[in-house]
Structure 1
Amino acid sequence: MSVRGGRTVRDLRRENRTAVLQRLYFDGPLSRFSLGPATGLSSGSISNVVAELVAEGLVEEAGSVDSAGGRPRTLLRISPHSGYMIGVDIGETRVRIELFDLALTEFARVERPLVTEGPRPIDRYDVGVVVGHVRDGIGEVMDRAGIAVERLLGVGIGVPGIVVGAPGEGAVVHGQTIGWDAVPLERLLRESSHLPQSVPYFIDNGAKTLGQAEMWFGAGRGARNAVVVLLGSGVGACVVADDIRPGRALEWGHLTVRVGGRRCRCGAQGCLEAYAGAEALLERWAEAGGQPPAGVDEETALAAMLAAAHPGPRADGTTPEADTAARTVLEETAEYVGAGFSDLINLFQPERILVEGWAGLMLGNRFLDSVRDHATSYSLAYPAGHVRIGLGTLGPDAVTVGAALLPLAGFFARGGHREQAEPQEPVPAWRTTLQERGRAKSGGRDPGAASPE
């Protein structure tokens, strides 16, 4: 049965369930009385929806609260163990796979390093190796936690690059900086995984999944919109809003900040990533006469650079002289990042800009003070005066949390139903009659079909 706007009764029922689930998840526990104004639904609709969700095991009682002069009101919450999600972070140095319940309690974790076997870091992103890590990691976390596959809502995967859907392939990844040219990641996982077809994959940009996590649970909570910036080996960003819809990934690291500048990993010249990513920072330090430690990972090398630029006191109370090359490179980088922030401020006018990623968190507030000054000086005064720039709060592991939110958001959008083929609505009698009439007049051929050549 259709209603105004082309929606069916089933659509309205699903939307009501979605509204109740979302409010209980983000603001619960709540009573039935509180759910009414929080969702805009009538008391009758609340009673019906809650009764369904309790009967299905998605919602459970969580104590009671006194009411003004009446009986205590029963509090309701999402049942944490009514479903499970897997979050996968295909990162710059490793693949991390984590299994969560609906309360985002971690039940199991697996990490697989991406080993550099050639002269360039791009060699570590062999598609077959990455697919194998993800496939085996999913099986391992499921076995460790002892969770039946039927209880899995889906697998969310954060990847570097642009993700598009393709007929017959599912999610296809265009990751130019890692050498992935139209990699049909979803199809490859389907072909190699032991998961049944009923378990959906949700594949999206890693900065985008991180941004959603910060907006739902971290430093973006309470803002109407924000830009979450990811600083690691490379640079990325995501524009996110305060609702359940996914954010929009930005290839911010490939914004041109210097015409004819340094060569970027993507092959172009003058990209922000060629100046602000950790890989570029260490290269520029060496070019300026610095001595990055050899044979260590980027995180250790960047920590050494920061210590060289801002040395602390020795055990004997003396303070070594600062490495001027390291300090100069960091100061220049703060200006490049600030200029990049000014573009985000002028284009999107966000309430907040949040810095995440292992390199961004390591550079920290000392670096961010200078970035704020440069961002303000390069921006229009009004939007610059209405933005707060700070660090994210979820930490460098948050991409897996954000990835796990992808199947959770899909579950909520379906009203708490598992992914399955939509049942066919009965066709109105008038439509059948007119279709038969059209076929009769066209000699039995479907009147909507293309005419033969």
Structure 2
Amino acid sequence: MANRSAQDIRRLNRFEVLRRFHASSGPRTRQDLASETALSFATVSNLTSELIGEGVLVEAGHAQSGGGRPRALLTLNAERGTLIGVDVGETSVRTELFDLALGKMAVDERPVTPEDVTPDQIADLIEAGAGAVLAAAESPRSRVLGAGISLPGLVERERGVSTYSPYWAWRDVPMRDRLAERLELPVHLDNPLKASALAEMWFGAGRDVDNLVVVMLRSGVGAGLALDGTLYRGATNSAGEWGHSCLVFEGRRCRCGNLGCVEAYVGTAGIAETLRALAPDDPLLAQADGAAASLLTGLAARAAESDPIALAVIRRTAAYLGAALGNLVNLLNPETLVLGDQVAAHLGERLLAETRAALAGHTLAQPLRAVTLRLSSLPHDAVSRGAAALAFEGFLNDREVFGPVSRTRGVKARAEGRG
């Protein structure tokens, strides 16, 4: 806080106000916003006036009043423009078009084949997806305020560089410049850990807590972190690579090259390996290569019928996950810990219950009592939606009237003094 200028604090407070519109349904009065953000009414009035001036907010009638001056209702101006959010995964590129209220307008999904993973080939898929969603929504490119792109692995956000991708062995690829030239749009890069955490902060489990961990369980594994109400990036934007912390000394080989990583046990390939260890001839193993969703769907269906092998795989996966999550809970002391993405979506409540039981054996009593473990309530497009939110932030940051800002969520009453 000591290093933030008065203007930085003002911009952070602006994001806190905007987040309230995305986190709840219906228009808000300035009094509502002051109560919900713990900012003063004067601060909220100044911030909303700026946002109205930029066309981000509009008046939407008046609240009912028992007397006195009517209170104006404010809402997001969905017609102000559109946003593109892209989730680049190991097996597909999902592109979505949103209005400014982050209502979905169109979606496009294209497969990624192992033979077509050069930076230019991935850029081709992103470019094609952007064109497809604009055409489907009959929305002109001139209305797009920005494109948020989530790339797997480590991303240097300020330079717009994919510094390392474990899927495709990319190193120091200047993807922002490549995509900005192709799309002819402002492009904002980050990785799925940050995008998924941002989506939970704006729309999901992070709306009412300041200390949040969002665990992504797909082919890759990691954790998005929000600490003291702010998206935590670390010194080089690589915070959250929990999937590559050591769970088993000299354990399974991870695709990062190290041994015993969390990802090697609770990612989709790790779950397949657990099944292979328990039942080497199980027919689901034929679906494990390149079809993780089929493997997970099969395990879930068999577990629902009390199949002992499927139940054993889920139980062992939860045991690994509980031990790994214990480290996060002891280290970060979060209020809420969310299990999200492909593995959590398919294995659901059964995985959650088993993980909760396992977690108790690896966590100190006080942080365990403080944390709520839950499944993500967001749809499976959380990463692309979070990427669109990154683009929305980028739009505001790039505006001359708003100027640059480096954090995501607002600073509450303790920091508003100069707002």
- TM-score > 0.5, shorter chain as reference: yes
TM-score normalised by length of structure 2:
0.83
Give the Cα separation in 2 of the matches to 1:358 and 1:146: 31
Give the Cα separation in 2 of the matches to 1:201 and 1:247: 19
Name the SS for the 2:133 alignment partner: helix
CA RMSD in angstroms, aligned pairs only: 3.1
1:114 CA drift (Å): 1.1
Distance 1:255 1:26, change over 3 A: same
Name the SS for the 1:385 alignment partner: helix
Q: For 2:327, which of 340, 343, 358 is the aligned residue?
A: 343
Counterpart of 2:298 in structure 1 is: 304
Q: 1:311-338 CA deviation, whole Å, 9 max, x = no partner?
A: 26xxxxxxxxx343x4333322211100
Counterpart of 1:229 in structure 2 is: 215
Counterpart of 2:378 in structure 1 is: 394
2:400 is aligned with 1:410: no
Distance 1:141 1:256, change over 3 A: same
Q: Describe how 1:422-441 pairs up with structure 2 within 5 A.
A: none
2:345 is aligned with 1:355: no
TM-score normalised by length of structure 1:
0.77
Q: 1:108-132 CA deviation, whole Å, 9 max, x = no partner?
A: 2111111245xxxxxx533332111
Give the Cα separation in 1 of the matches to 2:319 and 2:366: 20
Q: For 1:148, which of 119, 140, 147 is the aligned residue?
A: 140
**Deviates most, 11-20 or 58-67:** 11-20
Give the Cα separation in 2 of the matches to 1:49 and 1:360: 39
1:72 CA drift (Å): 2.8
Counterpart of 1:207 in structure 2 is: 193
Counterpart of 1:217 in structure 2 is: 203
Q: For 1:60, which of 46, 58, 61 is the aligned residue?
A: 58
Distance 1:152 1:41, change over 3 A: farther
Give the Cα separation in 1 of the matches to 2:303 and 2:41: 61
8 A Cα contact 1:293 1:301, kept in partner: yes
Counterpart of 2:131 in structure 1 is: 139
**Deviates most, 212-221 or 33-42:** 33-42
Q: What stretches of structure 1 of length at least 5 have no aligned partner? A: 118-123, 313-321, 421-453
Name the SS for the 1:163 alignment partner: strand
Give the Cα separation in 1 of the matches to 2:199 and 2:274: 32
Equivalent pairs counted in the alignment come to 393
Q: Describe how 1:287-326 pairs up with structure 2 within 5 A.
A: 287-288=277-278, 289=280, 290-292=282-284, 294=286, 297-311=291-305, 322-324=307-309, 326=310
Name the SS for the 1:178 alignment partner: coil
Name the SS for the 1:335 alignment partner: helix
Matching residue's letter, 2:191: N
Give the Cα separation in 1 of the matches to 2:233 and 2:198: 6
Counterpart of 2:416 in structure 1 is: none
Matching residue's letter, 1:351: E
Counterpart of 1:104 in structure 2 is: 102
8 A Cα contact 1:163 1:173, kept in partner: yes
Give the Cα separation in 2 of the matches to 1:182 and 1:301: 33
8 A Cα contact 2:276 2:285, kept in partner: no
Name the SS for the 1:203 alignment partner: strand
Give the Cα separation in 2 of the matches to 1:287 and 1:15: 50
8 A Cα contact 1:207 1:237, kept in partner: yes
Kindly, what percent of the aligned residue pairs are identical?
A: 38
8 A Cα contact 1:158 1:204, kept in partner: yes
Q: What stretches of structure 2 of length at least 5 have no aligned partner? A: 405-419
1:34 CA drift (Å): 4.5
Distance 1:261 1:11, change over 3 A: closer
Q: Describe how 1:379-390 pairs up with structure 2 within 5 A.
A: 379-390=363-374
Q: Describe how 1:167-186 pairs up with structure 2 within 5 A.
A: 170-186=160-176
Give the Cα separation in 1 of the matches to 2:346 and 2:180: 37
State which structure, 1 or 2, has the greater radius of gyration over its C-alpha atoms.
1
Q: 1:60-96 CA deviation, whole Å, 9 max, x = no partner?
A: 2222212242243221112111121110000132100
Matching residue's letter, 1:330: I
Q: For 2:224, which of 238, 242, 265 is the aligned residue?
A: 238
Matching residue's letter, 2:354: S
Q: For 1:378, which of 362, 380, 385 is the aligned residue?
A: 362
Does 1 or 2 have the higher relative contact order (CA < 8 Å, sep 6+)? 2
2:34 is aligned with 1:72: no
Q: 1:122-143 CA deviation, whole Å, 9 max, x = no partner?
A: xx53333211101121122223
Matching residue's letter, 1:30: R
1:362 CA drift (Å): 1.0
Counterpart of 1:271 in structure 2 is: 261
